[in-house]
Amino acid sequence: MYLTLSILGVFVLGIALLVAGWVLTGLTVMIGGTLWSLRWASRRYYHPACHHLVPVEADRCPRCTAESSGTSGR
């Protein structure tokens, strides 16, 4: 969902810049934003027990670890 929303947002912003006459900036935003979104999504995975995205670098799910220790941070 986040990947789809970020790519759609990038394309809306890029098209708005293209319509405004900022062709190079609009194309750069569209291409760069799409590549950044794909890179962001590739560095996370979906944790089925918690139903959220977890960074690949994390050994354990930080949210599950906080909830099991009693400090949810909310």
Q: Tell me: the pLDDT tens digits for 11-22?
A: 999 999 999 999
Q: Where does the pLDDT of residue 2 fall: very low under 50, low under 70, confident under 90, or very high at 90 and above?
A: confident
pLDDT at 16: 94
Asked whether residue 54 is assigned to any structural domain, the reply reads: yes
Question: What is the helix, strand, coil percentage profile of the chain, to 5?
Answer: 60, 10, 25
pLDDT of residue 13: 92
Helix axes 2-19, 23-42, angle to 10 degrees: 170
- Residue at 28 is within a domain: yes
Task: Please state the φ and ψ torsions of residue 52, each to the nearest 5 degrees.
Answer: -155, 175
Instruction: Give the chain's domain count.
Output: 1
Domain that holds residue 9: 2-69
Q: Is residue 11 part of a domain?
A: yes
Residue 36 lies in a domain: yes
Is residue 21 situated within a structural domain?
Answer: yes
Is residue 74, in this structure, part of any structural domain at all? no
| pLDDT, mean of residues 29-52 | 83
Domain membership flag for residue 14: yes
pLDDT of residue 45: 75
pTM of the model: 0.60
